[in-house]
Each structure stands twice: as structure tokens, then as C-alpha cells.
Amino acid sequence: MATTSFEEQFDKRLAQDQTIEPKDWMPDNYRKTLIRQISQHAHSEVVGMLPEGNWVTRAPSLRRKAVLLAKIQDEGGHGLYLYSAAETLGVTRDELYDQLHTGKAKYSSIFNYPSLTWADMGAIGWLVDGAAIMNQVPLCRTSYGPYARAMVRVCKEESFHQRQGFEIMNTLAKGTEIQKKMAQDALNRWWWPSLMMFGPHDADSPNTEQSVKWRIKRMTNDELRQKFIDVTVEQTKVLGLEVPDKDLKWNAERGHYDVGPINWDEFKNVVAGNGPCNKERLDARRKAWDEGKWVRDAAMAYATKRKARANQATQAA
């Protein structure tokens, strides 16, 4: 009888577009790549709550405040689904938090920029959540089952985030001269970092090829970035604002917009920890961890007590 090796079975499942589940055999590097990608994604969700949290108390109306709060809570929820998905790969929540707090793990560099005005709440929802959707929709079909399923729900919520951001931008852009200026200024500051969210160009992204082969990634960085640019430039026209790129032009031959060069030195610098808010963001996460210690201790003490009580009850029976 012919036997198939674990690796052959794994390859066969990928070829048939079946998902890989936690108990299935998988290559070590597949597991490692996923732990890195899913945990980076989870960290980005929770760190991403910080720039917007900055505006909850200053939202211009009760409606805006309620919507912004709901959006930020969604991001916390996304972090939780994703940490759970990462845990199915054999890493613990404590290890993941530790990697974030010690600076060993990365999160999306866009959250190291400050949110200076209310218009930034518009630009973040519209551009940052918009870029996140472009990245995440193909991940609903990623090969690792728990990650793919988490993404389905996350994507539904992200579309609401993108629309609430666009609505803020639209209100400001159609408002007074000062409001319009504020919207344009936010677009100017968030445009380039949003394009950087898709990561380095394919030629400079050594992990892309393997990730596409494993069907962890379904589209390359440049393909996703181009899709984002094509959609967003049209939306900018609807807003009556201007994309801050003098080289931006429609390329009829390619059927896509061409953009000017992205400043990768800035990207590398922010990723290396030198962005305007890196320190502030990590300090905030560490502080939340330290201040939450009593809650974790209380929950553990309660769990131990309950277990002891349940044991006593079984012994008595």
C-alpha cells in the first residue's frame, strides 16, 4: 500500500484549496510565518486603538462619539480573535504580549503617527481601515482555517469603519473653508503612510513568494497597493480634495494610476522605532498591561476557587 508523507498530504490540501487546521501537520516555517503574521496583525489592532482613543473625549457630537467608540471597540475585538487564532498554533497569549511589550514583535508602522485634528479620524477610517480591507479581504481565503474565519468577521466590521471615516471626510470637505483645509491636511499626512501599509515592493519582499505558495498570502504587496490607489484616487475626486502627489497620473496602457516614489527611508525609520509616536504607543500598552495585573490576578484566583469547589462537590457525591 502506498503511503503518503505528511508533507505530501499538506501540499495536496493546499493544491485543492482546503484549509489547514490546528491539528493538521504543517511545516515548521509555515507555523512560524503564521504566528508572526497573525500576532503582528493582532498587535496592530490593539495599538491601532490608541490614535483614535485620543479623540473620543473631543468628538464634535454625541453621534460622532458613539460611532467612534463602537469602532475602537471593534478593533479591540479584532485583536482578541486574532490572538486566539495565533494561540491555536501553539504560542501563548503571555508570550505574544511579551513580544509586543519588549519591542520584539512589530505592529503596523502607521500607528506610530500622531492624530492631530478631528479630520484625522476621517482620514484614518477612510485610508487606514480602507487599506486594511484591501489587505484582509484576500485573507478570508488564506490557507490557515482559524485565521481565515477570523478575517470574515473582521472584514465586515472594517467596511463600517471605512465608511464612517469617509463620511467624516465628506462632511468636512463639503463644510467651511477651514473644515475643508483640515480634511486636506489630514489627507496630506495620511496618504503616504497608507501606501506604505502594504509593505515593501514585491522585488524587496523576500517572504512574499513563499507566502503566496503556501496560500497564506493570496495577492502580492504591489498588487494590493495598486488596487487601493485606483479606488482611493477616485474617492478623493468625490471629496473634491487633492492627492498629495505631483507625479500621480492615469496610465491608460496599464489601466491603473501611476504614483510618485514612496519614501522607503521614512518607512524603515519608523519600523526601526524612530517614528513620531513609537515610544508613546509602547508605553501606553505596557502601562495598560501593568495596570491590568490586579484584574488578571483576581480572575485567576476566582478560577482556582471555582475549580477547588467543583472538586469538593465531586468528592462529596
Q: Is 75 in the site for Fe ion (CB under 5 A)?
A: yes
Q: How far is CA 107 from CA 9, 40, 72, 120, 188, in A?
A: 33, 5, 17, 20, 23
Minimum Å gap between C-beta 125 and Fe ion is: 7
Q: Name, in order, each residue with C-beta under 8 angstroms of 13's C-beta and a sequence gap of 6 or more.
A: 19, 20, 24
* Residue whose CB is less far from Fe ion, 120 or 129: 129
Chosen residue from 13, 43, 161, 215 binding Fe ion by CB under 5 A: 161
Retrieve residue 306's grid coordinates.
471555582
Minimum Å gap between C-beta 47 and Fe ion is: 11
Minimum Å gap between C-beta 210 and Fe ion is: 26
Residue position matching grid coordinates 519582499: 205
Candidate segments 98-106, 153-161, 181-189, 298-306, binder of Fe ion by CB under 5 A: 153-161
Q: Is 78 in the site for Fe ion (CB under 5 A)?
A: yes
Minimum Å gap between C-beta 24 and Fe ion is: 27
Q: What three-state secondary structure class fits 258?
A: strand
Candidate segments 68-76, 109-117, 248-256, 289-297, binder of Fe ion by CB under 5 A: 68-76
Q: What three-state secondary structure class fits 121?
A: helix
Buried b (16+ CB within 10 A) or exposed e, 24-42: eebeeebeebbbbbbbbbb
Minimum Å gap between C-beta 128 and Fe ion is: 8
Candidate segments 26-34, 161-169, 175-183, 243-251, binder of Fe ion by CB under 5 A: 161-169
Retrieve residue 314's grid coordinates.
465531586
* Residue whose CB is less far from Fe ion, 73 or 274: 73
Minimum Å gap between C-beta 70 and Fe ion is: 11
Buried b (16+ CB within 10 A) or exposed e, 201-213: eeeebeebeebee
Could you tell me which of 147, 190, 145 has the C-alpha nearest to residue 52? 190
* Residue whose CB is less far from Fe ion, 120 or 158: 158
d(CA 189, CA 179): 16
Minimum Å gap between C-beta 126 and Fe ion is: 11
Candidate segments 39-47, 60-68, 95-103, 283-291, binder of Fe ion by CB under 5 A: 39-47
Candidate segments 59-67, 91-99, 150-158, 201-209, binder of Fe ion by CB under 5 A: 150-158
Retrieve residue 104's grid coordinates.
520584539
Q: By CB under 5 A, what part of segment 127-146 binds Fe ion? A: 129
Residue position matching grid coordinates 509586543: 100
Site size toward Fe ion, by CB under 5 A: 6
Q: Is 43 in the site for Fe ion (CB under 5 A)?
A: no
Give residues in contact with Fe ion (CB under 5 A). Answer: 45, 75, 78, 129, 158, 161
